[in-house]
Amino acid sequence: MQSHALVQNDAVVLGLLALILGFVFYTEASAHPFWKKFYKYVPGLLLCYVLPSFLSAFGIVDPARSQINFVASRYLLPATLVLLTISVDLKAILGLGYKALLLFLTGTVGVVLGGPVAFLVVGAVSPDTVGGVGPDAVWRGMSTLAGSWIGGAANQMALKEVFEPSDRIFSQLVAVDILVQSVWMALLLFLAGRAPAIDERTGADTRALDELRRRVEAFHDQHARHLTTRDVVFIMAVGFGVTGIAHALGGWIAPWLARTAPGLERLSLTNTYFWVVCIATAIGVGLSFTPVKKLEGAGASRIGTGMLYLLVASIGLGMDVSAMITNPGLFAVGGIWMAVHAALLFAVAKLVRAPLFYVCVGSQANIGGAASAPVIASAFHPSLAPAGVLLAVLGYAVGTYAGWICGLVLQALAS
């Protein structure tokens, strides 16, 4: 189908995204009273995510036709994960304690329970919205959405093969996935900008987070040096070199498992992208125990964060509010589903006095996966990005299992 978007060239799209990022960073650093007051209430990172969506909303860019997000997720994301994790203080992250894992698992349970709750609530008001028979049954599409919101696209596609929704239902739930996830991420970024005040009001224990930040800052101060061309080349070599290795190994492991153990497809273990993310993260963590870690002193994580912002903009490009027109009832399902997920997270966080960071990253490690969990984590502090990466990888591991359970419950309710 011919796209009617004003801009068809991805080189132009990339330029527009770069200009948006430049505008945000320029105005955020401005001493003008208007901008100082504006950014007091609106986080810059949130604008980097929301402004690109206007390109889609006004028909300037067609995200479905653009390859920017694919390139960013396949090439920039693995390199970013490497550059963010080579400086990881694994001992300190493990020192965050059980609360980080507890909130992540709470987010998973919230998705598993939220789907059936939304199905029942909307079904009681509008049975046709969640009805359908055979491949057109809405519960089948919702099962794939559960996989996406616990793990990621790999888990979603695995569950699509398991529950076999029609292309029509699947595409409608993909629209729900993108829009509801986008609105939720925007809200989390907004909350992240107010984390200290919220944690103080709730009496959260932030000592472990403060210690992690202190240790990372101390390491950076000890090894900081002027960035040279040699450093830039080495940093690029590590980031994109490991990305190449991850793609090479993932491209071999996934097909091999598909041939020798096809049953592992249910666990996303035959998906190449799953292995690329896991291998890049594992190598990055491994390099943190080697002298390569000293590249952090030259700004490895800053370069990684720069690529992460471009990834944020490419994700925001896919946020299309006009998609609500397609099937507004299904967006009510997505909204209720996310509300259950959020309510459970905040309830458990209040019970264990967990900082807002655990809530936001625990949620996004489920809902957004490796592409956005480090974004949310770095909104609190750049040193916390690796924690988001590690939890997101855990989401890939449990996403298909938990999504499958959610699908079975939905199937039982539908019948």
Chain segment 166-178, per-residue pLDDT in tens? 877 877 787 788 7
CB 296 within 8 A of CB 231: no
pTM metric for this prediction: 0.66
Cα–Cα dist 89/292, whole Å: 13
Mapped onto helix, strand or coil, the DSSP state of residue 30 is coil
Ordered by start, the domain boundaries in the chain are 87-304+319-414
pLDDT at position 323: 55
Cα–Cα dist 366/397, whole Å: 11
Cα–Cα dist 59/177, whole Å: 20
pLDDT at position 345: 93
The chain-wide mean pLDDT, for the chain, equals: 82
* Banded model confidence at residue 37, pLDDT cuts 50, 70, 90: confident
Pick the residue with more confidence: 235 or 133?
235
Cα–Cα dist 314/87, whole Å: 25
Cα–Cα dist 142/159, whole Å: 10
Instruction: Put residue 204 in one of left, alpha, beta given phi > 0 → left and psi -120 to 50 → alpha.
Output: beta
Pick the residue with more confidence: 271 or 252?
252
Mapped onto helix, strand or coil, the DSSP state of residue 89 is coil
